[in-house]
Amino acid sequence: MSWLSALSRTRARFTDALASLFRPGSAPSAADLDDLLDLLVIADVPPRVAQELLDAARHTASRSLPLLDAARQALLDALPAAATPPDFATESAARPDRTPTVVLLVGINGSGKTTTAAKLAQKALDDGLSPLLGAADTFRAAGSVQLKIWADRLGVPAVVGATGADAAATAYDAVAAALARRCNPVIIDTAGRMHTREPLMRELQKLRSAVAKRLPGAPHHTWAVLDGMLGQNALAQARQFHAATPLDGLIVTKLDGSSKAGFLLGVRETLPAVPILYAGLGESPADLAPFSPEAYVSALLPSPT
Ligand SMILES: Nc1nc2c(ncn2[C@@H]2O[C@H](COP(=O)(O)OP(=O)(O)OP(=O)(O)O)[C@@H](O)[C@H]2O)c(=O)[nH]1
Ligand SMILES: [Mg+2]
């Protein structure tokens, strides 16, 4: 699915209003600016950020540059810098024993972790690598089963913890298996947890220590999988996860179903050091796109047709 169609829901709510903003030759009126502010807030851009964007757009809009184009530029400037997702082959090759890269996926219930684990495995396969999936969602029976089904479908090995088993032990086993089978990367799916539940958040630290015990330096990446349908709430969750276990990347799912994709413009303020690496634009393993600020902004504020 393309960015443009994925963000159609976010956009559909305000396409009509865009036409009036795409009118070069005059300074933007107060009404134009109000319309644009409404559009941004409807798309769940945090209001303070939206106001800043508008101020910036108003200053750059001119006879030759319509307000909409100025706004697009302001949006681009406000997004986290485009980040290239890590290349697992290069990372592994740089380590003395070519040990695998271990990625831990965390997030609240239903955010899309398991689906994203499968998507990342698919991507690794596409890149010619041999990924291994670790199902450390031992909380519910369905948790591991779902990842195992993906693993079988993709033809990649999986280490699956029994229901009720220790998630940290399962993560340890997954890394051990990857070392033995020379797999790279290891993608570890974890149980959904409420960011407000202290004991569950502490469990993540235990899981990290277990992984590090088997492979010092691992996990090399901890990525929060955020549900794009939740808009700004997803940002608050990400902040809490970051406090409990340092994140070095975000993956935003369900942008295809979200009408609140504007919340991504709040990421830089909430988590200045954490890049958005990928976006989920659908339910199939191929629906994972590196985050592209340009594609996102053009999809959010397109030229009226
Ligand atoms: N449209 C769309 N649906 C998605 C995307 N990512 C995940 N989903 C769907 O969201 C639902 C939840 O996805 P899961 O991957 O099971 O989420 P989870 O975080 O593993 O859930 P728990 O393990 O219960 O915490 C499933 O129906 C997925 O198909 C996406 O990018 N787009
Ligand atoms: Mg899951």
- Pairwise CA distance, residues 14 & 150, whole Å: 37
CATH 1.20.120 domain residues, the chain: 3-78
Tell me the best of 7, 253, 256, 260 to mutate to test the pocket of ligand 1, counting ligand atoms within 8 Å of each CB and taking the most. Answer: 253
- Pairwise CA distance, residues 245 & 209, whole Å: 11
Q: How far is the CA of 17 from the centre of ligand 2 (A)?
A: 39
- pLDDT the model gives residue 103: 98
The third-level CATH classification (topology) of the domain covering 3-78 is Four Helix Bundle (Hemerythrin (Met), subunit A) (1.20.120)
- Pairwise CA distance, residues 219 & 221, whole Å: 5
Q: How far is the CA of 192 from the centre of ligand 2 (A)?
A: 6
pTM value is 0.92
For the CA of 107, the closest atom of ligand 1 is 19
- pLDDT the model gives residue 198: 81
For the CA of 281, the closest atom of ligand 1 is 31
CA dihedral 148, 152, 155, 159 (to 10 degrees): 30
CATH 3.40.50.300 domain residues, the chain: 88-300
Q: What is the 3-state secondary structure (H, E, C) of 224-293?
A: EEEEHHHCHHHHHHHHHHHHHCCCCEEEEECHHHCCCHHHHHHHHHHCCCCCEEEEECCCCCCCEEECCH
What residues line ligand 1, using a CB cutoff of 6 Å? 107, 109-115, 137, 143, 192, 253-254, 256-257, 280-283, 287
Which residue minimizes the CA distance to atom 26 of ligand 1? 112
For the CA of 280, the closest atom of ligand 1 is 31
Residues 6+ apart with CB under 8 A from 289: 3, 278, 279, 281, 295
- Pairwise CA distance, residues 199 & 305, whole Å: 52
- pLDDT the model gives residue 21: 62
- pLDDT the model gives residue 38: 85
Classify domain 88-300 by CATH number.
3.40.50.300
Tell me the best of 108, 283, 287, 288 to mutate to test the pocket of ligand 1, counting ligand atoms within 8 Å of each CB and taking the most. Answer: 283
Q: How far is the CA of 177 from the centre of ligand 2 (A)?
A: 21
Q: How far is the CA of 16 from the centre of ligand 1 (A)?
A: 31
Say whether 184 sits in a helix, a strand or coil. strand
Structure tokens given for 169 = 């032990």
Residues in the chain where the model's pLDDT stays below 70 = 10-26, 81, 302-305
Which residue minimizes the CA distance to atom 30 of ligand 1? 254
Q: What is the pLDDT of residues 52-72, one digit of tens each?
A: 998 888 888 877 778 888 888
Report whether 185 contacts 93 (CB < 8 A): no
- pLDDT the model gives residue 211: 97
Structure tokens given for 279 = 């976006």
